[in-house]
Chain A
Amino acid sequence: DADVTQTPRNRITKTGKRIMLECSQTKGHDRMYWYRQDPGLGLRLIYYSFDVKDINKGEISDGYSVSRQAQAKFSLSLESAIPNQTALYFCATSDPVETQYFGPGTRLLVL
């Protein structure tokens, strides 16, 4: 079984809709991250959390929110989706030396 899972894997939604992307991990790591990948722009950090009560903005947090419900779960919400949020989204955890373990990705299309 995968250590970091994401649901859904693919999602098509319409402008203005609220959607949530879920991430779960079985690695027992405290630190979790949400990234988005756009062609030519690499991986950009949206939000990160160093433990259950800790939420930090990344470089592109506008239009997104997160919830760290438990050590193993970190969800990303788009309150009102817009087309430029169409991207590939990755969740990741990190070990004590900060090696990142990525989920399989969620491909989101906002029409």
Chain B
Amino acid sequence: ILNVEQSPQSLHVQEGDSTNFTCSFPSSNFYALHWYRWETAKSPEALFVMTLNGDEKKKGRISATLNTKEGYSYLYIKGSQPEDSATYLCAFMAGANSKLTFGKGITLSVRP
């Protein structure tokens, strides 16, 4: 069983604060790392798929980095807004024909 760890488990920030989350995964047999955003009462939606060491991806105020050698990825949210409140999931893939292993998620709550 692959171990995908996310920290912190939950985070409460004020509107306008910037925040970041960590996803740790096995550094051997890396194929891809995914980030998903999961709003309450909705389904998870893909944010990023990252495959190369050193990848940096950005979507609006949200960005992510990837370090496959040390087995971690960071997700950054700049200037958090209440609509950013959601659970953020990372998922690790060990090979082209393997399945995703999800972390338990980080729940972000942004106070207006």
**Which A residues lie at the B interface, using CB under 8 A?**
33, 35, 40-45, 48, 50, 56, 58-59, 90, 97-105
Quick check: B43 and A98 within 8 Å, CB to CB? no
- Given A97-B32, A98-B49, A99-B46, A42:B104 Cβ within 8 A: yes
24 pairs of residues in contact across A and B, judged by CB atoms under 8 Å: A40-B104, A41-B104, A42-B103, A42-B104, A45-B99, A45-B100, A45-B101, A50-B97, A90-B43, A97-B32, A97-B51, A98-B32, A98-B49, A99-B34, A100-B34, A100-B36, A100-B91, A100-B100, A101-B46, A102-B43, A102-B45, A103-B43, A104-B42, A105-B43
Q: Using CB atoms, name the residue of chain A closest to B36.
A: A100
A10 to chain B, nearest CB (A): 12
Within 8 A of A (CB), among B51-101: 51, 89, 91, 93, 97, 99-101
Inter-chain CA distance A45–B1, complex, in Å, is 12
Other A-B contacts than A42-B89, A42-B105, A98-B93, 13 sampled, CB-CB below 8 A, are A33-B99, A43-B89, A58-B99, A59-B1, A90-B43, A97-B49, A98-B32, A98-B34, A99-B34, A99-B46, A100-B36, A102-B44, A104-B42
Chain A residue contacts of B44, Cβ below 8 A? 43, 90, 100, 102
Inter-chain CA distance A40–B102, complex, in Å, is 12
- Given A99-B49, A103-B43, A48:B99 Cβ within 8 A: yes
Chain A residue contacts of B49, Cβ below 8 A? 97-99
Quick check: B43 and A104 within 8 Å, CB to CB? yes
Inter-chain CA distance A33–B97, complex, in Å, is 13
Inter-chain CA distance A48–B102, complex, in Å, is 14
Chain B residue contacts of A90, Cβ below 8 A? 43-44
Chain B window 20-56, contacts with chain A (Cβ cutoff 8 Å), 1 for yes, 0 for no: 0000000000001010100000111110010100000
